[in-house]
Structure 1
Amino acid sequence: MSFNGTDDPVAAVRAFNRFYTRKLGVLDQHLGKTPFSLSEARVLYELAHRDDLAAKEIGNELGLDPGYLSRIVQSFDEKGLITRRPLPADRRQYQLSLTAKGRQTFAKLNLSSQNEVAAMLAQLSAADATRLTQAMATIEAVLEQRPSQPAAFLLRSHRVGDMGWVISRQAAAYAADYNWDISYEALVAEICAQFIKNYDAAREHCWIAELDGEPVGSIFLVKATDEIAKLRLLQVEKKARGLGVGRALVEQCIRGARERGYSRMTLWTQSILVAARGIYQSAGFKLVKEERHHSFGADLVGETWELDL
């Protein structure tokens, strides 16, 4: 094992770390042209992907000094990026959540970081880019300790009562996470009503994810045309996030579209839905259209994604 001309493993790791941080331009602890330090960006990332985290929990996982983390939290609070509520079990500790402004801020930060990495990779050949990502995957697999047996979930077909659950949970989740108003609930109710009223079992389907016998997620496959299927209403409950439920639902929906003879899939989402966008992109969807609009009581950027089957 060697890096930078040394066979000492400790020296090699330290040398690689210096090289890597210098290469990504984060030695000054700032990301690109954003106003956030690396630590602040990491806190934003955790809050964007995991809901209702305790400040102490974030500090422990990221290895941040309590005083430094407290200053980050105070700064985010003053900027309107987060809400914080005292934990019932310990009033000295706070539970943190991103506000709608916070999620929009993270979406911009995430896009900026994605563009910078894409620009770096664009300088490499396809073979070198593959070698690089494979090496990174090896590092992650060796150093990351993963749970030996994640919680099991299952996907089933929709049944009586599921549409009411979908409408209720979609409306409540987006109101809590993004401050969307009741007009979003009306849209979801309309989609569900039309799905049931015009249901074509040979061309359409709804899958419900269950964990310990309770619904924790949903996705719809809906006919747009004879050739084009539409993916709609992907949603995963907070307690099931991080288990791969969203990815499994999307993969099942894609398989279902192929089995039903569609040649293309399309979906409409919003730029602030970072986790969902990541799943769509990993599944092979391509962003084909962006459009600013005001809906559900918020200024949004709507996105159309497509996948050739």
Structure 2
Amino acid sequence: MTVQDVRAFNRFYTGVIGALDHGRHLYAPYTLTESRVLYELAQVPHLDAADLRTLLGLDAGYLSRILNRFEEAGLIERGPSESDPRRRRVRLTAPGREAAGLLDERARDTVGALLDTVAPADRPRLAEAMRTIRNLLGEGRARCGEAELREPAPGDLGWIVQRNAALHAAEYGWNAGYEALVARIVADFAEDHDPHRERVWIAEQDGRPVGCVMCVRDDAPGTARLRLLLVEPGARGHGIGDRLVRAVIDFARGAGYRDVALWTVDVLSSARRLYQRHGFVLVAEKPHRSFGKDLIGQDWRLDLREPGA
């Protein structure tokens, strides 16, 4: 690869982005940078201004002016950080979330129209190519700290539903049927679960959630079920998915389960490779139509018992 290759791709991609916004006014009445600030604030309940500046790579004075305008417009509220009173915490108000939601809806519709021009069979390859570029060019960024796994805090279960729905819609075109399924799974866990036998992990990086997974009891006695594994696109390629799956396996083994089961679909190729690395075996698959798509459902299983047990 040469410098000219990168510049040629940059010109092409810039043209694609320009075409997406042609006559659509995607970011109006905000600038692109202001839209990025709104988007990041909409992903979490609140964010320290210093972390937001690092996340977006913005000059402190430039970000401060943006936040001042947002505060004057009633889009954000600022207060002392819970972790350090010297830092300022920023969160969206109801009007701010409404504005961020409108921008997100415009972006989804526009990108959806672009993806409609790509043959369904080519979309997984396109998504994998995009992930490869992000991972290779993003691995060396110093701002990415080590992710930690923790129990969910208030609001995190809602984040699991929202991010699962948004990411699978953006990356695979799944409809609201998937969001409804995720919401039922999360609600069932929130309303009634045994903390000694069931658990949720949130992967947190630089103060914001970037991944999740659940371990719940299966209907079959002695079987745990891995559910809702997710890693944010910008955090992929750093081993977070491996750590989340390993957390489920170690917890299930310690809780006395005999095996771990999971259900996935064939288009989630990266997740399937991850499960295989941890020893899961494909035991059944069946075509079906779900979430507005024709898919092949797959059942995978990991035996936790020692050989000969």
What TM-score do the two structures reach when normalised by structure 2? 0.56
Cα deviation 1:250-298 (Å, max 9, x = unaligned): 1111111111111101100010011111111111111111110001111
Deviation at 1:163, TM superposition (A): 1.1
Partner of residue 156, structure 2: 162
Please give the secondary structure, in 2, of the residue aligned with 1:226.
Answer: coil
Q: For residues 156 and 255 of structure 1, what CA distance do their matches in structure 2 show?
A: 15
1:280 equivalent to 2:283? Answer no
Q: Decide whether aligned partners of structure 1 residues 108 and 242 sit closer, same or farther in structure 2, where only a CA change above 3 A counts.
A: closer
- Deviations 1:210-250 (Å, cap 9, x if unpaired)? 01110111000010143100000001111211111111111
Does structure 1 residue 175 correspond to structure 2 residue 169?
yes
Closer, same or farther: CA 168–65 of 1 in aligned 2, 3 Å: closer
> Post-superposition shift, 1:207?
0.1
CA separation in 2, counterparts of 1:155 and 1:63? 39
1:167 alignment partner, SS class: helix
Residues paired across the two proteins, number: 206
SS at match of 2:154: coil
Further displaced range: 188-197 or 156-165: 156-165
Letter in 2 for 1:206: V
CA contact (8 A) 1:246 1:279 kept: yes
RMSD: 3.9
Is the 2:161–2:186 Cα contact (8 Å) retained in structure 1?
A: yes
State the match for 2:52 in structure 1: none
Aligned residue for 1:262? 257
Cα distance per residue 1:139-186 (max 9 Å; x no partner): xxxxxxx85976311000123211111111111111111111111111
Equivalent residues in 2 for 1:25-174, closer than 5 Å: 66=8, 85=20, 99=115, 104-105=121-122, 147=140, 151-174=145-168
CA change 1:290–1:99 in 2 (3 A) is: farther
Q: Distance in 2 between matches of 1:61 and 1:157?
A: 44
Structure 1 unmatched ranges of 5 or more = 1-58, 71-76, 78-83, 90-95, 110-145
Q: 1:295 to 1:202 in 2, by over 3 A?
A: same
- Aligned-pair distance for 1:195? 0.8
- How far residue 108 of structure 1 moved from its aligned partner, in angstroms, is 9.0
Change (3 A) 1:301 1:151: same
Match of 1:228 among 223, 231, 235: 223
The percentage of counterpart residues that share the same residue type is 41
2:204 equivalent to 1:213: no
TM-score (norm 1): 0.56
Q: Which amino acid aligns with 2:292?
A: G
**Partner residue of 2:247?**
252
Separation in 2 of the partners of 1:155 and 1:203? 18
Task: Check conservation: 1:99, 1:177, Cα contact below 8 A.
Answer: no
1:204 aligned residue = 198
Matches for 1:268-307 after TM superposition, within 5 Å: 268-307=263-302
Paired residues of 2:145 and 2:206 also in contact (CA < 8 A): no
Distance change (3 Å), C-alpha of 1:185 and 1:302: same
